[in-house]
Amino acid sequence: MHYILTLVANREAASLTPALINRVRDALRAGMPVILSPGEAADIPLTAAPDMDLVRAALEDAPVDAIPVRPRGRRKGLLIADMDSTIVTGETLDELAVIAGIGEKIAAITARAMNGELDFKDALRERVGMLKGLPVEALDQTWERIRLTPGAADLVATMRAHGALTALISGGFTFFTGRVAAQVGFDMHRSNELLHADGVLLGQVQEPILDRTAKLDALRDLAAERGVQLKATLAVGDGANDLDMLREAGLGVAYHAKPIVAAEARARVDHADLRALLFAQGYRAADITGTA
């Protein structure tokens, strides 16, 4: 067994049927499937890298993700996760803009930046500049709108329980990453600092801005500090500023990602929640911390 194809469906839909698993297995002439979570996840052992065109044809547009992995060193010792639209369901800056009454205007810039059409730093400065004079209380109002992505807490708790270091590395803001990191259970967080004075936002971000290069640097630095080889790392994100770290991590996953990211990432999750990253590492449902 030189490869494994992990199939994962949305757990609420439970659409990973035995018939579908066997159809993929037959198309690849693979070994006996291993069920990781009934209706949700299964491993298919292979002697060679899977032909993903055959996999997609066998799935017949079923809402199931297919993640090819190597069996050796599947469980990773370091997790680097993006925050916006990854660990939380939306973009915190866009939500803040809604409070400011300019949600659509800022969201349009965000969408272009996350798809790699705009320079991340310039786009961040522009959007933050549009928030000048907004009362800082708007940050608390925005926090009340933020929701965690299903599976986020399971992912972090399970990896930590098995000795991994978990880091939230975001191009967003410390006001939110600190709260998200505490709620989800990350070991640490890094992000950008919104400047404010006299109870209002100044329309500026503390320099230097944490961008795609800084995310890659965090992956490399934390791996070195932890004594973990890069092949033993996991990175997950959805935007163009995540691409460098996704390329370099041992397992880089584009999570419900923007088109440019989904097209370039070696692994992608389009249907399932963040538990998919645990199944890709070989964890079974019974292994997941917090799961009955």
Domain spanning 75-90+147-292: CATH superfamily = HAD superfamily/HAD-like (3.40.50.1000)
Write down the domain spans for the chain: 1-72, 75-90+147-292
167 neighbors 189 (Cβ within 8 angstroms)? yes
How many C-beta atoms surround the C-beta of residue 282 within 10 A? 16
Locus of tokens 């066997």 = 22
Q: Which of 84, 154, 242, 244 is catalytic?
A: 84
**DSSP calls for 150-184:** TTHHHHHHHHHHTT-EEEEEEEEEHHHHHHHHHHH
82 is catalytic: yes
Percent of the chain with pLDDT over 70: 99
Domain 1-72, second-level architecture: 2-Layer Sandwich (3.30)
Q: How far apart are CA 135 and CA 194, in angstroms?
A: 12
84 is catalytic: yes
- Its pTM stands at 0.96
**DSSP calls for 243-273:** HHHHHHSSEEEEES--HHHHHH-SEEESSS-
User: Nearest-CA neighbor of 76 among 263, 285, 249?
Assistant: 249
What's the burial of 118, exposed, middle or buried (CB within 10 Å: 0-12/13-18/19+)? middle
pLDDT for the residue 292: 41
Q: pLDDT 10s digit of each residue in the chain, 292 long?
A: 699 999 999 998 889 999 999 999 999 999 999 999 999 999 999 999 999 999 999 999 999 999 999 999 999 999 999 999 999 999 999 999 999 999 999 999 999 999 999 999 999 999 999 999 999 999 999 999 999 999 999 999 999 999 999 999 999 999 999 999 999 999 999 999 999 999 999 999 999 999 999 999 999 999 999 999 999 999 999 999 999 999 999 999 999 999 999 999 999 999 999 999 999 999 999 999 964 4
Q: Which of 43, 82, 94, 238 is catalytic?
A: 82
